[in-house]
Structure 1
Amino acid sequence: MDERLSVGALMNEAPYSISEDETLLLAWEVVERSGQRHLPVVRQDGCCAGVLDRAELAVACADPAVTLSCRTVRDLVHGRRTVTVHPEESTLRAATVMTEEDMDALPVTDPQGRLIGLLTAHDFVAAAAGLHEHTESAQETPHARPTLPGLPPRRREREHGIPIP
């Protein structure tokens, strides 16, 4: 992998994200349907409030559904230090941050702190294996994909072809 590669060239420019005001139940649904392992959380101003991991959400979702519909995503990310990188930074710097902070996913933000993408360990592995294809520059995609509009159906009809309602 090229050490001079920028974060913007490697990141996922349009991850699904969720507002910190949404319920944990909705967060789980977004993770399930999108197939993402990491779900960026944004405040109303578009700034990144953190990233939820699929496993962390699964543990939180072990509570009864009634509880989940009352708990917000903010409950999980509140009080966390949010570490981010910018698209023009080097992947070497991003890898160093991810290693030092023990993170699998790193939000990519613009200078105002608004989420514009997500860089994951998977992105690094794909790039190292020569499997990463980048089609747009970070500047062409100013904001992350919205949470609900256009949310695809569940990942795929499970291995046995049984449609999921």
Structure 2
Amino acid sequence: MEERPAVRSLMDAAPYSINEDESVLIAWEVMERSEQRHLPVVRQNGCCAGLLERAELAVVCAGPASELSRRRVCELVHERRTATVQPEDSVARAAAVMTTEHLDALPVTDRHGRLVGLLTARAYVAFAAGMPGRTKPPAEGPARSALSGLPPHRARDHGIVIP
């Protein structure tokens, strides 16, 4: 009997995340520099508060610039139910949750609700297609937050680096 792989084998074990008290402007910068399309939002205690999607954040960032630094990430995920999976859950269960909830990504949490990774539809599709591993190797330790360790922003057309 073939054993089903666990979420742990496909998840990004060190996604960039953002604290729920950060500004929407910082969230956009993290998303731009990390090149992630989904940004987990965490509370002070490390528990997952939700997940921001790039398109959703882009709409919010189209608002007046003066409001972006005052608007907090928690406003975008507050009052929204967040589906999560745990590292030991089967990949099939995660795919069922993503399908039922119409999601492209799922935060992966430990049994206490603390963020430990991110599973994306892209990783699942690569797995289903038999493509090798993750796009990034897993890192030890908790998910990265805010701007820690982010690469410099690179202008896409000119190779310009903005520190």
CA distance in 2, matches of 1:65, 1:164: 23
Q: Secondary structure at the match of 1:57?
A: helix
The match for 2:145 is: 146
The match for 1:59 is: 59
Deviation string 1:57-114 (CA, Å, 9 cap, x unpaired) is: 0000011111011100001000011111100010000000011111111000011100
Q: Secondary structure at the match of 2:51?
A: strand
Query: TM-score, normalising length from structure 1?
Result: 0.90
Compare the two structures and name the one with the higher strand fraction.
2
Q: Retained in 2: the 8 A contact 1:6–1:87? A: yes
1:163 aligns with 2:160: yes
The match for 2:48 is: 48
The match for 1:123 is: 123
User: Tell me, which stretches of 5 or more residues in structure 2 are unaligned?
Assistant: none
- The alpha carbon displacement at 1:147 in A equals 2.1
Percent identity between the two aligned chains: 61
- The alpha carbon displacement at 1:164 in A equals 4.2
How big is the alpha-carbon RMSD for the aligned residues of Structure 1 and Structure 2?
A: 1.7
Deviation string 1:36-61 (CA, Å, 9 cap, x unpaired) is: 00000000000000000000000000
CA distance in 1, matches of 2:103, 2:3: 20
- The alpha carbon displacement at 1:142 in A equals 4.1
User: Tell me, which stretches of 5 or more residues in structure 1 are unaligned?
Assistant: none
- Written as runs of structure 1 = structure 2, the 5 A alignment for 1:77-156 is 77-133=77-133, 136=138, 141-154=140-153, 156=154
Query: TM-score, normalising length from structure 2?
Result: 0.91
